[in-house]
Structure 1
């Protein structure tokens, strides 16, 4: 017996085709039946193979005497094919029941698609409620590591002019303050402010301060990025966050000996 989810009565009722294999002449019909029901071409080919002795019998019927050797060959071939078809049928019965059960489970879904095609083709809508798709099974959730469902914060429904300013700030996006802040001046920013820029960090920030003191200030963002060796996509991220103020004159280097009078 097969291990499908159907009951024993369903399995027996769907196995009536095996009775054809008990007939020595029409044993091949069973394979054409199951091949057509589950749309399996391989079983139809076996049906055609088992039908060859029957075809040969129809061809030689009336042309030869019953004691001729042609009848002996056809008789032995029919006997061998009959025994082989019976064994073959019982071996594939389990696979046939599985395939048949899958087709029956998919049939409502196929009807649902066919209804939709007909409705779109004729521009009508059936009164009957659409069939729910049977292939969508609920996904089992493990009892370990379940993530709690996020609690959505409700937005006040009263008019905006009646909401207190503090409550408006509570529902405002967190990034508003960052977007509306003033850009950082590269020639006046501290190392902490420069370290907060995308792709800079504390090490490059200290290097930027040293280079700024050495050359007296940055002339442009490209000057800043070239001295630090920043990549082009990092520069594009920094561009809306910074500004370049007037640069100071570089400190003068005095050479020679100092004379104290």
Structure 2
């Protein structure tokens, strides 16, 4: 299927993204300087573009301070725990960021629509989620929740691309195949979830992701603009020149840079 001509080009996208990524680095420095904790939740339909926008953010941040959280199917032990318990260990410490590629809202979406939880568990989640998030915010966590919007025509096109591309086929699962037939059910579940969990202390922000590149820029811009001025002086690093001769690796032959290691080899 041919893409619409008004979608943002890769060149224009990269030109707009680069200065935002510099701001993301400043944001990370600000979080560390002020001992702040940042949690960003990315939710949306399958193929909406969650992993792409998360990569655009995480790729320029220190991986020791930025954690991408993408939990798999809960174990039997986890299913016997308090529902939010498996997510709590992934909350960030001071100066760190946690990017949730799906989150506790699985219960209000895929688990509810696909019948992976009971009606009582589902209703309990809708009651408890605002209180759980209230505790996070009251403890000082900066919490942002984004829903990535994509229509059914665009979703079907992306499913087809994943099926045809062997590098993307791993993204397809049996649950995805069934989810294609439940577009309306997922939409109803989303609306119920938004109504129950959109609060003053933890509001939802909806972002159009029919054009993923434009959607990424919109979301990142919103995140940056929603936080205080992140200007923190960058630490000066003094790197004086080396006084001794620069060492070089010595290879036995220029045309054979790879060879098995031997104790008497000529490598330094």
TM-score normalised to structure 1 length: 0.22
- Please tell me whether Structure 1 or Structure 2 has the larger radius of gyration of its CA atoms: 1
Which structure carries more helix by proportion?
Answer: 1
TM-score normalised to structure 2 length: 0.22
Ranked by relative contact order (alpha carbons within 8 Å, sequence separation 6 or more), the top structure is 2
